[in-house]
Amino acid sequence: MKEFCQGDIISISDFGKQQFVVISKNAFIKATGVFHICPLSDKVSPGPIHIEVCGKGKTKGTVICEQIKLIDPKIRICKKTDYLKYDDIMNISDAVQGVFEYD
């Protein structure tokens, strides 16, 4: 099985050209073999929970942080296409955590 890491930009064969960002911590991925993703879109405007990113390979888009999904890469055909800078990973993590904070 391919190894996936937090901040990887991936494509999933079932979703055509749609790309996603792996948001799970590396320790979670290693322990469970699955990971959480958020969609990456070029049709969504940036905002508090829509984080604009640019991958190291120049993939651009906005991460939709409230649309979290769990993926098992043993069942889905996932392929790494790019990866994010650490600053972008931190911003996405903060936005996702903010969705679940208490009032």
- Indicate the pTM of the whole model: 0.94
Segments forming the whole domain that contains residue 70: 8-97
| DSSP bridge pairs for 40 | 19, 63
Residue by residue, pLDDT tens for the chain (103 residues) are 579 999 999 999 988 889 999 999 999 999 999 999 999 999 999 999 999 999 999 999 999 999 999 999 999 999 999 999 999 999 999 999 999 988 7
pLDDT at position 2 is 75
Supply the CATH number for residue 17's domain: 2.30.30.110
Long-range CB pairs of 42-49 (<8 Å, 24+ gap) are 48/95, 48/98, 49/95, 49/98, 49/99
pLDDT at position 1 is 55
| Residue 1 resides in a domain | no
Domain total of the chain: 1
pLDDT at position 67 is 97
The secondary structure element, H or E, covering residue 28 is helix 26-32
| Residue 103 resides in a domain | no
